[in-house]
Amino acid sequence: MERRLFFLLNLAQRKLLRYADATCRAETGLSVAQAALLFELARDPRPQSELVEALPVRKAAVTGLLARMEENGLVVRRRDPADGRAWLVEATDAGRERLPKLRRLLKRFNRALQGDFNDEELDTVIRFLNHIVTWTDQQEPSASRKEHRDAAHL
Amino acid sequence: MERRLFFLLNLAQRKLLRYADATCRAETGLSVAQAALLFELARDPRPQSELVEALPVRKAAVTGLLARMEENGLVVRRRDPADGRAWLVEATDAGRERLPKLRRLLKRFNRALQGDFNDEELDTVIRFLNHIVTWTDQQEPSASRKEHRDAAHL
DNA sequence: CCATTTTAGTACACATGTGTACGAATTGCA
DNA sequence: TGCAATTCGTACACATGTGTACTAAAATGG
């Protein structure tokens, strides 16, 4: 059996992301990371902590992402009246305007990804990807949500 | 059918890479990017341009990667006597020493990735990943090897 | 044989991600 | 109630990646 699954996955995802990012920037002016965040704001306002949970990145990355997006007028943050530490994030009109185009682009990507694989095959692929997510979550039991409470093994 | 293939792939690969990188650094002191490069140097010396072709990143990224690895004493570069522009890259003893451990780690990752998927399912996954590679290569016909000779469409 | 084009690699500015350390607000509990 | 622990978000240093612009060497072709 194939010995290079790990690197093949890396290769495929990097190439895909590189192309998707270039296309997305060219057609909408947004990076894929910004687009992913904007999708989460279809129904806003949302607390920043929820965005961190919804996205596959750590909170420090979201801080920077939001800062750049706010600079570009795509989102606005205001203090959560119920929690003086938290921010409520909202897409601006300029941000919301991007959504239809982004949705069409995402659909294009997904169609291309599906290629001519049939439902059974796609189901296998999706199960495989979910298996990766599950496995890594098991390896880093606390990393997803609770950061490094018990990361003393390093 | 699943509408989120694109983001699911992104999620899975990011989680995998994050975990693999942390583990690799903890057990061998190398990042996954450095490990991938070192694997390519099992038979050295190799011209840097070959490394660029073998890795899923652009040449500017390889420049920095090699600089850091050379600083850490993992590789050495010397001018190609046959081509005054090119470098021949070689793993040092310290670099080569890492290889067995890296191979074992890679095997561990690949076994975990395969989980209990059978050969037919893994074949489907591999075909899917190769399909992505092929598709992105078709989208950016010149990007892999020839950079941006005909990227005027941007 | 020289001028033009291509190729190898670096430099630079930037985006995105990581982990760690921190301040401030909130929560939990004695 | 009040202090300790937790949580939210930012700051910082850094690694890794991108595209673009550049230098210098090599290849090409009249």
DSSP string for residues in chain B: --S-HHHHHHHHHHHHHHHHHHHHHHHHS--HHHHHHHHHTSS--EEHHHHHHHSSS-HHHHHHHHHHHHHTTSEEEEEETTEEEEEEEEE-HHHHHHHHHHHHHHHHHHHHHHTT--HHHHHHHHHHHHHHHHHHHHHSTTHHHHTTTT-TT-
Residue A47 has pLDDT above 90, yes or no: yes
DSSP string for residues in A17-83: HHHHHHHHHHHHS--HHHHHHHHHTSS--EEHHHHHHHSSS-HHHHHHHHHHHHHTTSEEEEEETTE
Could you tell me if A109 lies within 8 Å of chain B, comparing CB atoms?
yes
Q: Is B92 left (phi over 0), alpha (psi -120 to 50) or beta?
A: beta
The phi and psi torsions of B80 (rounded to 5 degrees) equal: -75, 120
Predicted TM-score of the model (pTM):
0.87
Per-residue pLDDT band for A44 (boundaries 50, 70, 90) equals confident
B80-113 as b/e: b if 16+ CB within 10 A: beeeeeebbbebbeebbebbeebeebbeebbebb
Mean pLDDT of chain A: 88
- All residues of chain A having their beta carbon less than 8 Å from the beta carbon of residue B3 are 110
The reported pLDDT for the residue numbered A33 is 97
- What span, in angstroms and rounded, lies between the C-alpha atoms of A132 and A114? 19
Per-residue pLDDT band for B145 (boundaries 50, 70, 90) equals very low
pLDDT digits (tens, 9 = 90+) for A62-97: 999 999 999 999 999 999 999 999 999 999 999 999
Domains of chain B, CATH where assigned: 5-153 (1.10.10.10)
- What span, in angstroms and rounded, lies between the C-alpha atoms of A30 and A25? 5
Per-residue pLDDT band for A4 (boundaries 50, 70, 90) equals confident
Residue B153 has pLDDT above 80, yes or no: no
Q: Name the least confident of A92-96, A142-146, B136-140.
A: A142-146
A85: helix, coil or strand?
Answer: strand
The reported pLDDT for the residue numbered B3 is 56
**Count of alpha carbons within 13 Å of B88, Cβ hemisphere only?**
11
In a mutational test of the A interface, the residue from B132, B137, B139 whose CB has the highest number of chain A CBs within 10 Å is: B132
Q: Which of residues 55 to 114 on A have a Cβ less than 7 angstroms from any strand C atom?
A: 56-58, 60-61, 64-65, 68, 82-85
Tell me, rounded to whole angstroms, the distance of Cα A34 from its chain centroid: 8
C1' (D22) to CA (B140) span, angstroms: 24
Strand D: which positions are within 7 A of a protein CB? Answer: 7-13, 15-21, 24-27
Mean pLDDT of chain B: 88
Please state the rounded mean pLDDT for residues B99-127.
94
pLDDT digits (tens, 9 = 90+) for B59-91: 999 999 999 999 999 999 999 999 999 999 999
% of chain B with per-residue pLDDT over 90:
83
